[in-house]
Amino acid sequence: MNDFSTILKKLRKSKGLNQEELAAVLGVRKTTISNYETGYSTPGGSMLRQIADYFQVSTGMLLGDSVSLRESAPGADPAFVSIPVYASLSAEEGASLPLYQIQLPLSLMGEGHFFAVTVSGDRMDRSALSDGSIAIIRKQNFADNGDVVLLSVGSDPAIFGRLYRFGTMVSVAAESSNPMYHPVIVNNGEQPVTILGKVIKVLQSI
């Protein structure tokens, strides 16, 4: 849990609101507030201002040392790490070029190499990965059962999903309100499954 998560929870309780009531005030789903308070996702600029206005505090006070979404610039604060944001990715090297860079606090990110992808569609809309949000991903080629990852099957475009392994079988589960999505199940011995990284943070769309 980061400073923003702790501060938001305290402010909500100070007004005697539960998560569902605050969600109604802000015009979002209860799961969005829950994700904010657990630190799994962080609001974008306009939502951050809306929260600050409602509680009559500054965005700086609301953030503390938490995440601040901004475009990187020359001479950027060395306490921040610059992360490339892509529209989409595949397992092929050089298949995509970043749209822009964002900066996130080193203290929030921990160790590793990071990139970000703009989420498109409703495949994972029951999780924090809603359409238009930005997934912050730690680059790694492994994952534990239950991790939310970005991966490619063969040469197909990368998809988000919750990963499960059963021997050589790999299941990539969707978390969607749309019934058209079913788990992608492949035999890793027949079709190569390439894990591009693990989702560690989500920035909600501005």
Q: What is the pLDDT of residue 2?
A: 57
**Residue range 10-15: mean pLDDT, rounded:** 86
Dihedral angle at the C-alpha atoms of 183, 30, 66, 145, nearest 10 degrees?
A: -20
The confidence band for 163, taking pLDDT boundaries of 50, 70 and 90, is very high
Q: Is the pLDDT of residue 106 over 80?
A: no
β 193-203/159-166 pair status: unpaired
Q: Is the pLDDT of residue 5 over 70?
A: yes
Residue 152 C-alpha from the chain's centroid:
18
The neighbour count for residue 73, using CB atoms within 10 Å, is 10
Q: Is the pLDDT of residue 51 over 50?
A: yes
Mind listing the domains of the chain with CATH numbers? 3-63 (1.10.260.40), 80-203 (2.10.109.10)
CB of 203 within 8 A of CB of 133?
yes
Q: How far apart are CA 164 and CA 147, in angstroms?
A: 8
Q: Is the pLDDT of residue 127 over 50?
A: yes
DSSP secondary structure of 49-79: HHHHHHHT--HHHHHTTS----B--TT--TT
Helix axes 45-55, 19-26, angle to 10 degrees: 110
Beta bridge partners of 185: 171
* Mean pLDDT estimate for the chain: 80
Q: What is the pLDDT of residue 24?
A: 93
CB of 202 within 8 A of CB of 40?
yes
> Range with the lowest mean pLDDT among 56-70, 149-163, 177-191?
56-70
CB of 170 within 8 A of CB of 181?
no
- DSSP letter at 47 equals H
Q: Is the pLDDT of residue 198 over 90?
A: yes
- Strand blocks (E) in the chain: 41-42, 80-86, 100-105, 114-118, 134-139, 148-153, 159-166, 169-173, 184-187, 193-203
Which has more confidence, 44 or 51?
Answer: 51
Q: Is the pLDDT of residue 206 over 60?
A: no
pLDDT in tens, 131-146: 888 899 999 988 999 9
Q: Answer whether 0.75 is exceeded by the pTM.
A: no
**Residue range 93-110: mean pLDDT, rounded:** 71
pLDDT in tens, 61-97: 676 633 434 434 444 455 678 888 888 665 444 446 7
